[in-house]
Amino acid sequence: MEEIRSVQNYLKEIFEEIKTELGDNEFIRNLVGSEENLTQLIDRQRELLSEYIENWEGEAADFSRRFEELYTSIDVPYTVVAWNIDRMKSKLMEKLIEEDYSQEFVLRFKRYLEDLVNQIAKIYLRKDVKVLRNFKNSLFADRLLYSVHKSWFLRIADCIEKDDFTDFPLISAQECEFTEVLDFPEALFVCLDANMCTYIHNLHALIHDTANSFYAFYTKGAYYQAYRVFKDLTELVAKLLKTISELYFLAYSDPEGNFFKLAHGLSREEGYKYVSAIDVIGLKKINRTHGEKVGDAILKEIGNRLRELTSGDTGRTLLIKGVTSNFFMFNKDYSEDEIVKLVERMREELTSELEIEGKKIPVSVSIATLELEPFVELVESELRDILSFLKDEAKKQEKHSSMSVGKERRQEIIAWINEKYRNVEKVKDKIERGEIELVYHPIVEVNNTSRVVGAEVLARLRNGEKLIPAGVFIDLIYELELVEKLDTLILERLLDQREELDVLGTLYINVSSRSLNSDRYLERLCNFIRDMSDMNIVVELTEQQLLENTDAVVRVAQNGHVTLAVDDFGTGYSSLKLVADLVDRGLLKILKIDGSLVREVLSSHAIWKVVDIISVLSKRLETRTVAEFIESQEELTVVRSMGIDYCQGYYIAKPMRLQELLVWMKTLS
């Protein structure tokens, strides 16, 4: 046909112009990648287009396959290809109109080229479908909000690849499972911000509208328009999944904190809701006995079993790994009977013998459960406190389970809350007013219990004529961040009494970890030691404190010229190397044997051996030993036989006010 031959003659000139234009366009040049790629693209397109035009009246199927081979082999974005063909079409149309070709031919030829552009768009749809498939590779792909939509966009990808839209998920946002899942506990946990939840909801609706538009264009054969909508769709899906991934990352960067925010927020809503704390019983002992690697493996296995037990009820249950408890569980829309049965089933199925690294270890859990509905006025910290109370209660129960469920238990909890608030105000007021008094627990020689070698200083809160041990409220004192204040008050009271203290010779003072990390307190302690230079000051620290605050401990001991004593020795986390190092530097001179060991020294031969080994170790290190909790003549006789140097306990004397102690000491002589 004469018109087609004329068109063929124009192609070479037109493609040379296009090649020049492409080369001058920096944006397109960067997309193509190299001059070689550009030349290859232009030459092969011109060759195929020439044959395509020559086949004006023939079948287009073969050309569609050949164009697909071209664009699959050359990594060129559709943007470049579409621009290239559009420029070629425009230039050809100009030539045909300029040469006064018939309107009928021009229109037919235009549609012929547009059909080519349409088929190339379809080729690129199949090529770019990998973008949808790549979304499944996210780190959060298995998380609920991510996975529930993953199957949806993978179905779309399958339809495009098969060129069969029979199974296309043509549904509205409201019909999508994702909308239902947005009300699940996990979704609410991840999306705590109401504005962010609205954003996700609206973005999800837009995605479904766009997907349905894509379906309409594709099934009508309008692949060019379908491709443009597809690009919008992939961008929207990417935005949604990126937002979800970021929300998961933020939520699980502080899972326990966000868990209690969720629990507190939902406690205002109607319906039954419960929070549970789940702990492996004796995990610290397992870590000490078998190592933390075994303990971690046990936690992992328990976590897997918990997830199996709750996997079929994600619409009502959320399970997270915690810090203050091993695991936390949130349940909504459970009846009282359902939650009781679930907790009992968990307790039974998690009580078993686990084989970890060839060791068979018996494992059981304690579960504390709190019904949220009655506590709508409480803040997050108060919810934590109540759950902590229930955890302590669960440890005392035979079944290791404590549930605040039902009217009767609700009244007990409310009574506990009221008492706690009274205690909070009482403790806070007494410490801020400085209403503490010191008592002294004498330490004597084991071989001559009439000879007092020093006394441990203990704080008491004044309550009228009564003295309440500070240890009764120590957790509350830490919670109120008053422990440094208490430690400082002890130093002040000692200075007030220093003129009468010289008869004791040595004072043993306990210092909290929090105070050790306070430069202000450490300076006061060093000043105190200098002011009390006529006395021997021993600072008692637990094994864990020694390990965690080594630098601060050394600083105090060196600057204040003070002796260190390891308190509760034999049951903690000591590094014997650290102990030896502190002994070599002349800083550590006393090992206080933990009272729990002394209590069992008569009933357990293994414990007897441990205490005996500590005594031998102390002699080799040239340190002194103190046996705590001596409560009988039999215990005193045993530690004396082992060569323990000093002892203290109620069998010797109870803690006393200074004047009482001085009178008691006179009775010994």
Asked if 568 and 489 sit in the same domain, the reply is yes
Asked if 479 and 543 sit in the same domain, the reply is yes
pLDDT at residue 406, rounded to an integer: 55
Which residue, among 499, 566, 514, has the nearest Cα to 538 in the 3D structure? 566
In a domain, 412, yes or no: no
Q: Name the residue with higher pLDDT: 163 or 373.
A: 163
pLDDT at residue 376, rounded to an integer: 47
Strand partners, 328: 277, 320
Mean pLDDT of 619-632: 93
Mean pLDDT of 545-556: 75
Asked if 461 and 599 sit in the same domain, the reply is yes
Residue 505, by phi and psi: left (phi above 0), alpha (psi -120 to 50) or beta? left
pLDDT at residue 28, rounded to an integer: 61
pLDDT(368) > 70: yes
Asked if 595 and 632 sit in the same domain, the reply is yes
Q: What is the pLDDT of residues 495-521, one digit of tens each?
A: 999 999 989 989 999 998 888 888 899
Asked if 482 and 602 sit in the same domain, the reply is yes
Asked if 300 and 165 sit in the same domain, the reply is no
Could you give the CA distance from residue 514 to residue 481 in angstroms, rounded to a whole number? 9
Number of structural domains found in the chain:
4
Do residues 375 and 381 make contact, with C-beta atoms less than 8 angstroms apart?
Answer: no
In a domain, 497, yes or no: yes
Q: Choose the most confident range, by mean pLDDT, from 242-256, 408-422, 571-585.
A: 242-256
pLDDT at residue 174, rounded to an integer: 93
pLDDT at residue 146, rounded to an integer: 86
Instruction: Give the model's confidence band at 384: pLDDT under 50 very low, under 70 low, under 90 confident, else very high.
Output: confident
pLDDT(643) > 90: yes
In a domain, 415, yes or no: no
Asked if 569 and 459 sit in the same domain, the reply is yes
Q: What share of the chain is helix, strand, coil (3-state, %, to 5)?
A: 65, 15, 20
Of the listed ranges 247-251, 306-310, 319-323, 568-572, the one predicted with least confidence: 568-572
pLDDT at residue 394, rounded to an integer: 78
Q: Name the residue with higher pLDDT: 387 or 440.
A: 440
Q: What is the pLDDT of residues 463-472, one digit of tens each?
A: 777 777 666 5
Asked if 582 and 538 sit in the same domain, the reply is yes
Domain range for 96: 1-130
Mean pLDDT of 346-358: 87
pLDDT(595) > 80: yes
Q: What is the pLDDT of residues 34-61, one digit of tens each?
A: 667 666 766 677 777 766 666 665 555 4
Asked if 648 and 585 sit in the same domain, the reply is yes
pLDDT(632) > 50: yes
In a domain, 485, yes or no: yes
| CATH number of the domain residue 438 falls in | 3.20.20.450
pLDDT(235) > 90: yes
Asked if 457 and 571 sit in the same domain, the reply is yes
Asked if 147 and 72 sit in the same domain, the reply is no
Of the listed ranges 5-9, 134-138, 426-430, the one predicted with least confidence: 5-9
In a domain, 529, yes or no: yes
Instruction: Give the model's confidence band at 218: pLDDT under 50 very low, under 70 low, under 90 confident, else very high.
Output: very high
Mean pLDDT of 336-343: 89
In a domain, 635, yes or no: yes
Which of 355-380 are b and which e, b meaning 16 or more Cβ less than 10 Å from the residue's Cβ?
ebeeeebebebbbbbbbbebbeebeb
In a domain, 140, yes or no: yes
Q: Name the residue with higher pLDDT: 281 or 412.
A: 281
Tokens 């990352």 found at: 249
Q: How many residues appear in the chain? A: 669
Asked if 505 and 521 sit in the same domain, the reply is yes
Given 130, 160, 187, which residue is the final one in a domain?
Answer: 130
Q: Name the residue with higher pLDDT: 174 or 195.
A: 174
What mean pLDDT is reported for the chain?
Answer: 83
In a domain, 209, yes or no: yes
Given 352, 371, 405, which residue is the final one in a domain?
Answer: 405
pLDDT at residue 608, rounded to an integer: 94
